[in-house]
Structure 1
Amino acid sequence: MKKTLVIGASTNPERYSFKAINSLVNHKHTVVAIGQKTGEVAGVKIQSKAIPVTKIHTVTLYLNAIAQRDYYNYIIGLEPKRVVFNPGTENPEFYQLLKANGIKYEESCTLVLLATNQY
């Protein structure tokens, strides 16, 4: 199982980050979540600020490119195996930083990856 950090997490059932947390939990992945507001989704507590975490395999983003800037150093410091840029989060500037730090990235959809057993 791949420990996953969801950044841009929401308690709104209509948001894709909410659906992703549920799907990740259903697929037995350990989930850590950061969002603008605290809350809980599928038993996962959403933190409202970057928190220290270890052994993150995947970071999945639900923030636009401008909002991601606040997390560049944090994400790179976690040394994840990969960062997933969900639709609407594409960010060539961040791709270059990740590549320079030996972190893989992909433009994909976490929900599709999970549904097709490609996660």
Structure 2
Amino acid sequence: MKKKTLVLGASENPSRYSNIAINRLASHKQPVVAIGLREGSVAGVSIQKEKVPFEDVDTVTLYLGPPRQEEYYDYIVSLRPKRVIFNPGTENPEFYRLLQRENIEVEVACTLVLLSTNQY
């Protein structure tokens, strides 16, 4: 099943987990959109700098630490994703509660592991 994913905290740096995630999502034929600090491209996916009002986002996968997430709270909720994945290092109980009040699933997991074990 195709799950449009927003990678938040995307980077063109191939050693960054966000970059690896974009590549793996693309190789699994999942539709991907991305937002990062700088514009660029990974695996044919354009990285945007602005909070683009993407439609039909199923999953947001976070690669931003808690202090950097706060400016995206309202934006993520406005996208109405089914779930938000908090990758290692992005855990944020305050944000979990906000998302759960909006009936958005919180998953504390690693996108790369979920993909490699067919649990995505």
Q: What is the TM-score with the length of structure 1 in the denominator?
A: 0.99
TM-aligned CA deviation for residue 51 of structure 1? 0.4
When the two chains are superposed, the root-mean-square deviation of aligned CA atoms in Å is 0.4
Equivalent residue runs for 1:50-69 within 5 Å: 50-69=51-70
What's 2:33 paired with?
A: 32
Instruction: In structure 2, give the amino acid aligned to 1:17.
Output: S
What's 2:81 paired with?
A: 80
Give CA-to-partner distance per residue, 1:15-74, whole Å, 9 cap, x none.
000000000000000000000000000000000111011110000000000100010000
Equivalent residue runs for 1:1-119 within 5 Å: 1-119=2-120
How many Å separate the matches in 2 of 1:52 and 1:6?
Answer: 14
Instruction: In structure 1, give the amino acid aligned to 2:41.
Output: E
Give aligned-pair identity as a percent.
61
How many Å separate the matches in 1 of 2:29 and 2:110?
Answer: 18
How many Å separate the matches in 1 of 2:106 and 2:21?
Answer: 18
- Unmatched segments (≥5 aa) in structure 1: none
For this pair of structures, how many residues does the alignment match?
A: 119
4+ long deviations beyond 6 Å: none
